[in-house]
Amino acid sequence: MTEAAFFPQLEIPNTIAAGPGPGHTDARVLDRFASAGMADHMHADVLRGMIECKLMLRSVMGTRNIHTFGVAGTGWSGLDCLFSAVMPGDRVVVFVNGTFSGIDGLTLRMKAATAKELAASPMDPQPASVKIVTVPHGQSVTAEIVEAALAEHNAKWAAMAHWETGSGRINDLRGFSDACARHDVMGLVDAVSSLGVEDFRIDDYPGVHGWASCPQKGICCLPLTYAPVSFTDRYIANLRQTGCRTFVHHPILEARHWGIVEGKDVGKGVYHRTHSAYAVAAFHEALRITLQQTVAGRAKSYVFHEAALRDAVTAMGCKVTSNMPSLVVLNLPNKLAGREMELVQTCRASGFGIWPTLSEPVQVRIGILNLLNQNAITDIVNRFAAALNKMGAEIDTGRMNERLEQHYQTLVAAE
Ligand SMILES: *Cc1c(COP(=O)(O)O)cnc(C)c1O
């Protein structure tokens, strides 16, 4: 017989979420989460909240797509829903330039594999119908790369991450959409990192027929609430013809609880699964915050603060290889090269939650999601410099802070 397992109450400390995500959940979101009453998933106010979320989400995403809603879970839940229409044997081109687009590629290989191909390599299938176009870490997927691949492979679907968070690179969404439209391929985009950080409207990219994001990056909600997704009428019409092999993430069935039935908005959702009043309340507040601050306003703020952080770490001798305004991906100064994991672990042990890259090469990632103020950036810069100095970097922190202050003054003056 085993001992009965029982533990003290779980305490989890507060840290600075200075990684690629989750971002710093807004206090207003946490308050709504904790203040929601005990109410079931068919309660009138929960259903009303979901309808309001759906309408706000259409504004945040810039779309008239009826099939726009939240998938319960994390980014991968939304992406699983996005890729659900891809059937065994479908021809797919996937652009991979880092960890996350790599996993998107794996998901698509699993979905497009025939039963025989899946059985041949169940965890890592290599279906003949999927073409993975690999772009080296630290580089972006360009319009030329997409055009060449779509011209060569007669695909039904193409998939790309808008912002590849693994390497911190922005991929060419315009080029991707245009090439998809030219070759009559249905584009699918992983917008997990970009939604709520960049100012863009998905309806301006007509070559893209499906989009998925996550709750906890640009949208600043809690993980495991709702991953935004949106589908064009063409995607949905295709899905109606082919069907797909999921109940829970079926884009047509899942949409019903958000009051989208038979391709139309209806006043009240229909049961699909047991939604959480807490999650709905949190997501609702996160969307309200985004719309109050405006997507354009937040996007501008990210660019502004990332420039300050980038300048500071560059002055410390680091080399930044990313171009995302919410995340800095860098190489350490030459004399500290190879000690990235040690640095990240030291920082994380003190509640300063920066990250390494998750696939080769090893680099350091510092994120600023919902940390959009001078105090937060100054704190990040000083913690990072102190950790480097512990390893022998000899950074003059007094001069560094003067420089940061000066940077903010000039940036403010330039506004
Ligand atoms: C974070 C991220 C994901 C995964 O999101 P989870 O919320 O961890 O499931 C997928 N794609 C990209 C581009 C990401 O940045």
- Mean pLDDT of all residues in 350-359: 94
Give the pLDDT confidence score for residue 159 in this predicted structure. 99
- Residue 247, Cβ neighbours under 10 Å: how many? 10
DSSP string, 28-53: HHHHHHHH--S--TT-HHHHHHHHHH
Pocket test for ligand 1, best of 167, 192, 216, 324 (most atoms within 8 A of CB): 192
- Mean pLDDT of all residues in 327-337: 96
Pocket test for ligand 1, best of 71, 94, 95, 100 (most atoms within 8 A of CB): 100
On the question of pLDDT at 181 being above 90, the answer is yes
**What's the pLDDT tens digit per position in 205-235?**
999 999 999 999 999 999 999 999 999 999 9
On the question of pLDDT at 357 being above 70, the answer is yes
On the question of pLDDT at 412 being above 80, the answer is no
Confidence of residue 414 (pLDDT cuts 50, 70, 90): low
- The whole-angstrom separation of Cα 239 and Cα 186 is 12
- pTM confidence score: 0.97
Residues 33/278, Cβ–Cβ less than 8 Å: yes
Q: Is the CB of 190 under 6 A from ligand 1?
A: yes
- The whole-angstrom separation of Cα 310 and Cα 306 is 6
Q: How far is the CA of 214 from the centre of ligand 1 (A)?
A: 7
Residues in the chain: 415
Strand 163-164 to strand 157-161: parallel, antiparallel, or no bridges (unpaired)? unpaired
Q: Is the CB of 165 under 6 A from ligand 1?
A: yes
Q: Is the CB of 306 under 6 A from ligand 1?
A: no
**What's the pLDDT tens digit per position in 278-325?**
999 999 999 999 999 999 999 999 999 999 999 999 999 999 999 999
Q: What is the CA radius of gyration of the chain?
A: 22
The half-sphere exposure of 238 on its side-chain side, counting CA atoms within 13 A, is: 18
Q: Which of these ranges, 1-15, 48-62, 70-84, has the smallest mean pLDDT?
A: 1-15
Confidence of residue 183 (pLDDT cuts 50, 70, 90): very high
C-alpha 116, offset from chain centre: 33
Domains along the sequence of the chain with CATH: 27-292 (3.40.640.10), 295-414 (3.90.1150.10)
- The whole-angstrom separation of Cα 218 and Cα 47 is 24
Q: How far is the CA of 216 from the centre of ligand 1 (A)?
A: 9
Confidence of residue 3 (pLDDT cuts 50, 70, 90): confident
**What's the pLDDT tens digit per position in 90-138?**
999 999 999 999 999 999 999 999 999 999 999 999 999 999 999 999 9
Q: Is the CB of 214 under 6 A from ligand 1?
A: yes
Q: How far is the CA of 103 from the centre of ligand 1 (A)?
A: 9
Give the pLDDT confidence score for residue 360 in this predicted structure. 83
Tell me the pLDDT of the chain averaged across its residues.
96
Q: How far is the CA of 47 from the centre of ligand 1 (A)?
A: 27
